[in-house]
């Protein structure tokens, strides 16, 4: 997402236009959410039927939890971070 934002902004690093962030966000959020969703869906069988296999259950639960946390970071923390960055410039 930040890479797309930098690509849209170009060499004008000092310009922190919210419209550019929204454009980058709209361009990248669907592929990000599809990737996270498909990965979590693929790990559901390991969580549903993997209680006898401690490695696979723990891996699936940890990975799914981390991916859900990354959604929160992308949707909440990243905009706040860019807002703070705008205030510093």
What integer pLDDT is reported at residue 68 of this predicted model? 94
What does each of the 89 residues of the chain score in pLDDT, given as a tens digit? 667 767 766 656 555 667 777 777 888 889 999 999 999 999 999 999 988 888 999 999 999 999 999 999 888 887 787 777 666 55
Phi, psi of 11 (to 5 degrees): -85, -5
Res 63: pLDDT: 97
Residue 43 CB-density burial (10 A; 0-12 exposed, 13-18 middle, 19+ buried): buried
pLDDT at 10: 67
Q: What was the pLDDT predicted at 17?
A: 66
C-alpha–C-alpha distance, residues 52 and 50, integer Å:
5
To the question of pTM greater than 0.85 for the whole model, the response is: no
The pLDDT of residue 67 is 96
Angle at CA of residue 31, ends 59 and 36, nearest 5°: 15
């Amino acid at each position: 997402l930040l890479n797309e934002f930098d690509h849209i902004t170009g060499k004008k690093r000092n310009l922190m236009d919210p419209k550019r962030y929204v454009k980058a966000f709209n361009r990248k959020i669907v592929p990000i959410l599809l990737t996270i969703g498909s990965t979590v869906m693929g790990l559901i069988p390991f969580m549903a039927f993997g209680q006898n296999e401690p490695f696979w259950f723990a891996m699936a639960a940890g990975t799914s939890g981390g991916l859900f946390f990354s959604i929160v970071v992308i949707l909440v923390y990243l905009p706040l971070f860019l807002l703070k960055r705008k205030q510093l410039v």
